[in-house]
Structure 1
Amino acid sequence: MLERITARRAELDVRVEELARQLEELRAEREELAVAEKVLRRLAEQVAAEAPAAVPVQVGGRAVLLIPYRRENPDEAALPGDYRRILAIVRAGDGPVQVKAVGEELGLEVAVRGKLEPLRAKLTKLADRGWLHKRPDGKFTVRP
């Protein structure tokens, strides 16, 4: 009987050492993940802080102002004036708004299709950047 106890104790000692080694490896990996998480958070903060609200760029020799992406705390002041006006018109609408209705509010010739296409592009750009929501029927709403 004493031999069985001694043999079992030896088996358990080996298992304890194995589990201790595994536990140490898991703790080391967990620490590495914590460090990686801190680094990613810092990088995300730096990117958010360094991201300009609107970046003037040259396209075809002309200065163009890019529309910023909407963040958790949207600052409409970062948008050019005509885009802020479009956003206000959509916000004031009773529900989803058609491009034609925005054009009428802006005083565009809505009967001429070519006059609405640049406006449609602006509305779509605002939707792509998270300021508006473009519905499948082509109407636009303000994001909450």
Structure 2
Amino acid sequence: AIKGVLRNDAERFSINLCLDRPDGCDPNAVPEWIAYHFGLDFSDGGASCKVAQCSKNVGWIEPLIVEDDAFNGRTVNIIVRLDEDSIKVFHEDTQHAPDYEFSHQFPIEQICIIELRDGIDRVEEIRLKYSA
């Protein structure tokens, strides 16, 4: 689970589940290999935002984009579940079907970095759980 508050002027926020960076890479640069990118785009200024899901294998894969009004505030509470065949994302809780789903493009066991980018004011909680 990732809980946080976005800056008042945030136009974007994203979560990247990344593979390891090769030695010598700039730690502030966007990684070359992202197993899963979940991005919120508030730049239109309306009550809803655009939600993008994609991956990156040196270049970005064509994103899946939808409009969503669930993220109309500045607080984010996102649960990411890594399943055998897909990555499932829930807003607020897991007591319902996933809000978003994305098929694996990389082996999930190679994910070793969770990256929060753009627009985050403060992180209130990052919780990792494993269940077999």
TM-score bin, normalised by smaller chain: under 0.3
Higher helix share: 1
- Larger CA Rg, structure 1 vs 2: 1
Higher strand share: 2
What is the TM-score with the length of structure 1 in the denominator? 0.24
